[in-house]
């Protein structure tokens, strides 16, 4: 067990209860302040609920991107996914937010599926498997309703012709001691992993304009290196906006993982599976008896059902506050809170799965063509 104030956040491993203020200091990022939210609102006329609620909490150079945009200098967006398994609802958080950014700022978006990196990182995965997961993950991405005219999917092993010349420029400026210091690589680390950060950097420079990258904060180390290299290859540093880690159903201490079935709701889960997983595994902030709960109330801040509503499934602030207050006071029981989440998740995923089927006919429109 780790001490309660200790946690690990790397691109491959998240453990412990994360103190995000400490993480900001540790990573050297900046907090998203009320001033920044006002700036976003002045540009877009709106503030996404994930920003208001601190789901996106930290950034690098976001203010520069916004100021440049106000002066007429456009940027593009880049995000992605390491296809190590089926898509779960935690993966959708940065994608849904990215779609909002794309619509508000009218920008191009590149979505990178790093099938090579997952093959390098996971001893038990074959390239055929990561390629299959890349296809499956792409369907979930497309199902969210992105515009194919402005959105391109990059699959590393398929688009290497486009990526490699850019990655080579980056790789020449990175040495082993850089990657070792940032990622903790050892002599036993395979050379694919050591080179990989150059390939993840490549989409940052695919257009000759600044880039903004919405991503889980665990992926920040890759782009720390990219940001160091950018000026040395005559490019602007990528700007980043980070979301918190989405907790596993089993509660605080770690993130939802594509490989941990009981703690994870997949986008392909049936209504029966959703109901069973939430009822059986969702960590509760309630009391051990109904009497005690009515008297003392529950703790929504540690209750996973409430957190999923806050992070993704209840965009209406007033409704969310009513749920918070009712649960905190003991008026709402854990079973009732879980029932609200089950209904919301089921409604969302039934619709998503229909769109996911249709995405099979649309995928060709989204795939980047190597020039």
Q: Could you please report the per-residue DSSP string of 157-193?
A: TTSHHHHHHHHHHHHTT--HHHHHHHH---TTS-HHH
In a domain, 371, yes or no: no
Does 217 lie in the same domain as 154? yes
Pair 63, 36: CB distance under 8 Å: yes
In a domain, 33, yes or no: yes
- Written as tens digits, the pLDDT of the chain (371 aa) is 444 468 888 887 888 889 999 999 999 999 999 999 999 999 999 999 999 999 999 999 999 999 999 999 999 999 999 999 999 999 999 999 999 999 999 999 999 999 999 999 999 999 999 999 999 999 999 999 999 999 999 999 999 999 999 999 999 999 999 999 988 899 999 999 999 999 999 999 999 999 999 999 999 988 999 999 999 999 999 999 999 999 899 887 656 666 677 789 999 999 999 999 999 999 999 999 999 999 999 999 999 999 999 999 999 999 999 999 999 999 999 999 999 999 999 999 999 999 999 999 999 999 999 98
Does 281 lie in the same domain as 204? no
Does 272 lie in the same domain as 235? no
* Residues linked to residue 150 through DSSP beta bridges, in sequence order: none
Q: Quick count: other Cβ atoms within 10 Å of Cβ 215?
A: 19
In a domain, 257, yes or no: no
Does 24 lie in the same domain as 110? yes
- The closest of 224, 229, 242, 205 to 50, measured between CA atoms, is 242
Q: Are strands 109-113 and 151-155 parallel, antiparallel or unpaired?
A: parallel
In a domain, 367, yes or no: no
* Residues linked to residue 56 through DSSP beta bridges, in sequence order: 243
**Secondary structure E strands in 103-262:** 109-113, 151-155, 211-216, 239-243
Q: Are strands 76-81 and 109-113 parallel, antiparallel or unpaired?
A: parallel
Residues in the chain: 371
CA pair distance 216, 197, nearest whole angstrom: 16
In a domain, 258, yes or no: no
Q: How many domains are contained in the chain? A: 2
- The closest of 306, 311, 302, 304 to 323, measured between CA atoms, is 306
Does 176 lie in the same domain as 32? yes
Does 128 lie in the same domain as 186? yes
CA pair distance 283, 247, nearest whole angstrom: 10
Q: Return contacts of 291-295, CB within 8 angstroms, 24+ apart.
A: 293/330, 293/333, 293/334, 294/330, 295/330
Q: Which domain holds residue 279?
A: 263-358
Does 213 lie in the same domain as 75? yes
Name the domain boundary from 202, 223, 249. Answer: 249
Which domain CATH number covers 216? 3.40.50.620
CB neighbour list of residue 74: distance below 8 Å, 6 or more residues apart: 105, 107, 209
Confidence (pTM): 0.94
In a domain, 86, yes or no: yes
Name the domain boundary from 249, 280, 310. Answer: 249
In a domain, 211, yes or no: yes
Q: Edge-to-edge, what's the strand order for the sheet holding 211-216?
A: 30-31, 56-60, 239-243, 211-216, 76-81, 109-113, 151-155
Does 245 lie in the same domain as 268? no
Pair 201, 228: CB distance under 8 Å: no
Which domain CATH number covers 295? 1.10.240.10
In a domain, 254, yes or no: no
**Secondary structure E strands in the chain:** 7-9, 14-16, 30-31, 56-60, 76-81, 109-113, 151-155, 211-216, 239-243
Name the domain boundary from 225, 249, 273. Answer: 249
């Amino acid at each position: 067990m780790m001490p309660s104030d200790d946690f690990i956040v790397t691109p491959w491993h998240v453990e412990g209860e994360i103190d995000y203020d400490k993480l900001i200091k540790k990573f050297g990022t900046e907090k998203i302040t009320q001033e920044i939210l006002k700036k976003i609102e002045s540009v877009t006329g709106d503030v996404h609920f994930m920003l208001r609620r601190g789901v996106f909490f930290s950034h690098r150079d976001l203010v520069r991107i916004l100021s440049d945009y106000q002066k007429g200098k456009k940027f593009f967006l880049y995000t992605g996914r390491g296809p190590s398994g089926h898509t779960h609802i935690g993966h959708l958080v940065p994608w849904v937010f990215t779609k909002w950014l794309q619509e508000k700022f009218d920008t191009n978006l590149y979505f990178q599926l790093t099938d090579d990196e997952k093959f390098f990182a996971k001893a038990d995965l074959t390239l055929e498997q990561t390629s299959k997961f890349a296809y499956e993950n792409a369907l979930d991405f497309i199902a969210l309703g992105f515009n194919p005219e402005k959105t391109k999917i990059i699959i590393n092993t398929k688009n290497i012709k486009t990526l490699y010349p850019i990655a080579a420029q980056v790789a020449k400026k990175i040495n082993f001691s850089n990657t070792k210091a940032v990622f903790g690589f050892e002599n036993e680390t395979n050379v694919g992993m050591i080179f990989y950060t150059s390939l993840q950097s490549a989409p940052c420079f695919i257009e000759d304009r600044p880039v903004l990258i919405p991503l889980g904060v665990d992926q920040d180390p890759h782009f720390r290196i990219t940001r160091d290299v950018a000026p040395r290859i005559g490019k602007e540093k990528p700007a980043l906006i980070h979301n918190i880690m989405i907790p596993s159903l089993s509660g605080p201490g770690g993130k939802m993982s594509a490989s941990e079935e009981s703690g994870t709701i997949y986008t392909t889960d049936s209504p029966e599976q959703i109901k069973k997983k939430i009822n059986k595994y969702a960590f509760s902030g309630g009391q051990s008896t109904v009497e005690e709960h009515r008297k003392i109330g529950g703790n929504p801040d540690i209750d996973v059902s409430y957190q999923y509503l806050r992070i993704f499934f209840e965009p209406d602030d007033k409704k969310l506050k009513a749920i918070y207050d009712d649960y905190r006071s003991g008026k709402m029981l854990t079973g009732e809170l879980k029932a609200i989440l089950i209904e919301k998740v089921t409604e969302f995923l039934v619709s998503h799965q229909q769109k996911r089927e249709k995405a099979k006919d649309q995928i060709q429109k989204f795939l980047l063509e190597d020039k």
